[in-house]
Amino acid sequence: MPRGRVGDPRFAAALYSAGMASTDDPAGQPRSSRAEAIVAHAEQSISEDAIVAAARERAVDIGAGAVTPAVGALLSVLARLTGGKAVVEVGTGAGVSGLWLLSGMREDGVLTTIDVEPEHQRIAKQAFLEAGIGPGRTRLISGRAQDVLTRLADESYDLVFIDADPVDQPQFVVEGVRLLRSGGAIVVHRAALGGRAGDANAHDAEVAAVREAARLIAEDERLTPVLVPLGDGLLAAARD
């Protein structure tokens, strides 16, 4: 059966602007309002423990982005579904997404998390310790992801999560796919850019990079992609 690809013109508009159209649905409710209500319900249905909540507060204090609770829960599910023994995260932040990833990983799984800001990693390490996660389960690497990813082994990871500057997404996607074993998955956060990625009139550097990352994933025949309207958009793809 043919698979819809993100870059296919037949699917692009639906993937990037689903829920943004103003056309009424059969019930007479604007689709945008209905989609927003569904996403809000998904976000509100997830509760976080005190450790994740504290990490989220620290993220605000240091100005680091943090995934929403629903995005975190999805990351945990994906980590579990992919086997979760070896996971790579680009963008440590204050450790919010790392905590969610680790919650879905195997007890002997190792999270390799990369961030250019040493202070972010220090704070994330505190969150991991508070959660009772042993030092052997995390590998915190301070440095530019562009440099670090190239040193990681091919086809050795179950899940790659990218939560970094949108302009770097294409390069990180290329490296991330290289790292995936068969059956692994790549997840790119900020795939919607608040809706700008689906705006035909938007052509700035971030939008161009996000679209290029989507094209790279769409045209890779080894990958089966999906765009998930949680957080700022998650572009996920499983490798054959």
pLDDT at 21: 39
CB atoms within 10 A of CB 3: 10
Tell me the three state secondary structure of residue 175. helix
Local confidence pLDDT in tens for the 240 residues of the chain: 344 444 443 344 334 433 333 445 555 667 778 888 998 999 899 999 999 999 999 999 999 999 999 999 999 999 999 999 999 999 999 999 999 999 999 999 999 999 999 999 999 999 999 999 999 999 999 999 999 999 999 999 999 999 999 999 999 999 999 999 999 999 999 999 999 999 999 999 999 999 999 999 999 999 999 999 999 999 999 999
- Cβ(181)–Cβ(156) under 8 Å? yes
Q: Which domains does the chain have, with CATH numbers?
A: 9-20+29-239 (3.40.50.150)
Closest CA to 99 of 145, 164, 60, 53: 53
- Please state whether beta strands 138-142 and 157-162 pair in parallel, antiparallel, or not at all (unpaired): unpaired
pLDDT at 28: 61
Which single residue is written with the structure tokens 């045209």? Answer: 219
- Cβ(231)–Cβ(70) under 8 Å? yes
pLDDT at 29: 65
Residues in the chain: 240
Q: In this structure, what is the dihedral angle of CA atoms 90, 66, 167, 6, given to the nearest 10 degrees?
A: 90
Tell me the three state secondary structure of residue 3. coil
Closest CA to 152 of 141, 162, 163: 141
State how far the Cα of 144 lies from the Cα of 24, in Å rounded to an integer. 46
- DSSP code of residue 153: P
pLDDT at 20: 38
For the entire predicted model, the pTM comes to 0.88
